[in-house]
Structure 1
């Protein structure tokens, strides 16, 4: 995950609605009373009395690139961390100091928290600069969440931030950690918090005995009950890891259910290939001929990859189908799904068809699909040479897409 995972995820009053996440027990670090708006002092310009060393450090950070950040980090010894942070923040607003400096502040704070959590937390709470205080707290909580997400959530729940909202993605980190504990723990964690619009997570590790079907059913039920909302994020490798373990079960679930967030059929095929290298193409050829398959869904998701990656796969499968009629039907569906209303976008599928009549039928089907939802249909930059190779005239093509 990229540096600075600290993001604003939820809005006013959410913590109160969760009852402080249902957590019990005292917070282990010393918790200072949150300051009021009257107490809060905005980040200010450096004063004339500032230590020249830190003035120079701040100016260096303004010109630093990513490659210089670690060298600057080494200049800050443990006893100087707060002075370095205050120097970096001593400008009119954090937005003025640059991305490198922001990440340098986060790194300094995370190192501090890794060595002395209570000391770093106490220093953050005492910090009078509101923006710096929140950067420090976010970095500390993120560092702690790597080893103890429950405690990080507990600590976060005690804080009053400037926007009265949550400043980190600790809930996501907690839910991701439960994947390594098992499906039951993961399900408990996603039910524990309000359903939200699910964002793409990262590749995650799963417990050896993780019950993918149980988790998939739970996420689907959560989305159904909450108008499509679900966990705060979802691992992008869920379906591929399931298919790596049991490809037929993963595909069967995919075929019978709404797609999981970021879990289309290409993830199933990725896992299938890892499970049985070299066999996914033949398996897919079989599925494209199975009348029980949700063909439209299968093709729509399968073609949703880069065109340069898709073309050789389409050609391979078309060549493996039993006859020209079956291959034309396959290419017809690929053309319509990939075109998005522009002939040029999936012209390669027309090229592979066996006759001008099959191509004109595909053009008419594309026009019918996209015009039914009031979307434009156009030729794009299809050349006369292409049309001639297809055995149709421009007039015939334009008439077909006009219907």
Structure 2
């Protein structure tokens, strides 16, 4: 009761008129595990029943040493090679493929692709089990990434939305190199390239960032604006472009910061952009200097824009980072209280009021009440009612 009574006081106050008016190859096993999780039930998914010889080949694949696995591509009859690999995957069941097995599978598929791409590709596209099909298609793309990057990319994006993470360094390098080629042709070409990469489904549990390296003379504003406009949020794809804001901050910090703050003032999310800019300054001048610089920037912003900045950078979801930024930047108690209230108000105005819960949760009841009493607008009552910290 005591932990909630302050909220009742606040809500009652509304009725009284208080208120006037929201990884590298070391992790390859994870990708392999995801590809094999459902493989044990592949027969139930519509795959033809495998005869005993294919199961036997699958057992031999499991037992064969890594340095001898390539020979199996020639030993197994071509018509049985694909189903035998699937039988091999099936034998791991719920436990998934370990890193050694993933590496063996890549080597075996590499050998097949070199020998006969067409039959390997035909088999890959006929695999009924979705996770296994994606694993094999990625492996084929990895096989081609060095010899025929364009064809490798075409294979990679052919299967629709991804259900597993990018854990093959060959694919990351492929995307990085093709991004560089696209960027050399201008911002729109880069965006056009990245839009071809399918989205990540909710099953994807880790994401890879590719650091872009804009060449001299790049129009950073046009490039970042095109990416923000066309590519959506980070983690929309299992692999994402980054590094533009960091590169921009090195060339023209003021312009980069102005771009970030303008987006925040317009109600846009800026977490990734702001993180790159601040990280660049930290690397150049140290953490303390970066915090002092950030605090100086905030002091120069108009009242309404400060709250929008904290909401856009998603500090309302990170109370520790919020208060640490103000404290390490030399903010006074009065400034901290002011910026907190501006952030709560901006959250209500933008329909993102959960800072009422997160940012106030560690405060004494009396302080919480003091802060929420300052909130205004027709949505304030509902926001406090639904998000009040206990």
TM value normalised by structure 1: 0.58
Identify the residue that residue 140 of structure 2 maps to in structure 1.
140
CA shift, 1:287, in A, is 1.6
Count of aligned positions = 318
- 2:315 paired residue number: 303
The offset of 1:297, in angstroms, is 2.2
> 1:130 and 2:127 equivalent?
yes
Q: What is the DSSP-based 3-state SS (H/G/I as helix, E as strand, rest coil) of the residue aligned with 1:235? A: strand
Equivalent in 50, 54, 59 of residue 55 of structure 1: 59
For the pair 1:206 / 2:213, whether they are aligned, the reply is: yes
The 1:214–1:176 alpha-carbon spacing in structure 2 relative to 1, beyond 3 Å, is: farther
Deviations 1:252-271 (Å, cap 9, x if unpaired)? 11112365786242332112
Instruction: Give a deviation string over 1:155-199, Cα, whole Å, max 9, x none.
Output: 568x8x7xxx57798999866434434363553142267688866
Query: Greater relative contact order: 1 or 2 (C-alpha under 8 angstroms, separation 6 or more)?
Result: 2
Q: 1:98 to 1:261 in 2, by over 3 A?
A: farther
Residue 272 of structure 2: aligned partner: 263
Hey, what's the Cα distance between the residues in 1 that align with 2:138 and 2:210?
Answer: 23
Alignment-derived partner of residue 255 in structure 2: 249
Distance in 2 of aligned mates of 1:231 and 1:171: 18
Q: Distance in 1 between matches of 2:292 and 2:151?
A: 49
Counterpart for residue 187 of structure 1:
188
Map 1:3-402 → 2, pairs under 5 A = 3=28, 4=31, 42=47, 44-45=49-50, 47=52, 49=53, 54-55=58-59, 58=62, 74=66, 76-81=68-73, 83=76, 86-90=83-87, 97-98=93-94, 100-101=96-97, 107-112=103-108, 114=110, 117-119=113-115, 121-125=117-121, 127=123, 130-131=127-128, 135-145=135-145, 148-154=148-154, 165=160, 176-181=176-181, 182=183, 184-185=185-186, 187-191=188-192, 201-209=208-216, 210-222=218-230, 234-257=240-263, 259=268, 263-277=272-286, 278-292=288-302, 294-300=305-311, 301=313, 303-304=315-316, 306-317=318-329, 319-321=330-332, 325-333=334-342, 340=354, 342-343=356-357, 345-348=359-362, 360-365=369-374, 371-372=381-382, 376-380=386-390
- Structure 2 SS opposite 1:320: coil
User: Alpha carbons of 1:229 and 1:326: their partners in 2 closer, same or farther (altered >3 Å)?
Assistant: closer
Q: Report the secondary structure of 2:209's partner residue.
A: coil
- The superposition leaves residues 342-378 of structure 1 with CA deviations (integer Å, 9 ceiling, x where unpaired) of 5575345x57xxxx6x764412246866545696033
Runs of at least 5 residues in structure 1 that lack an aligned partner in the other structure: 9-40, 61-71, 381-403
RMSD, aligned CA? 4.9
Secondary structure, in 3 states, of the residue corresponding to 1:251?
helix
> Relative to structure 1, is the Cα distance of residues 130 and 52 closer, same or farther in structure 2, using a 3 angstrom cutoff?
closer
Structure with greater Cα Rg: 1
Q: Provide structure 2 residue ranges, at least 5 long, that are not aligned to the other structure.
A: 1-22, 36-45, 201-206
2:154 & 2:59 partners in 1: Cα distance?
Answer: 37
Residues in 2 aligned to 1:202 and 1:362: alpha-carbon distance in whole angstroms: 39
Instruction: Supply the distance in 2 between the matched residues of 1:43 and 1:103 (Cα, whole angstroms).
Output: 28
Superposition deviation, residue 320 in structure 1: 3.5
Inter-partner Cα distance in structure 1 for 2:326 and 2:234: 34
- CA contact under 8 A between 1:243 and 1:275: conserved in structure 2? no
Taking structure 2 as the reference length, the TM-score comes to 0.60
The whole-number CA distance in structure 2 between the counterparts of 1:197 and 1:80 is 33
Give the superposition deviation at 1:125.
4.0
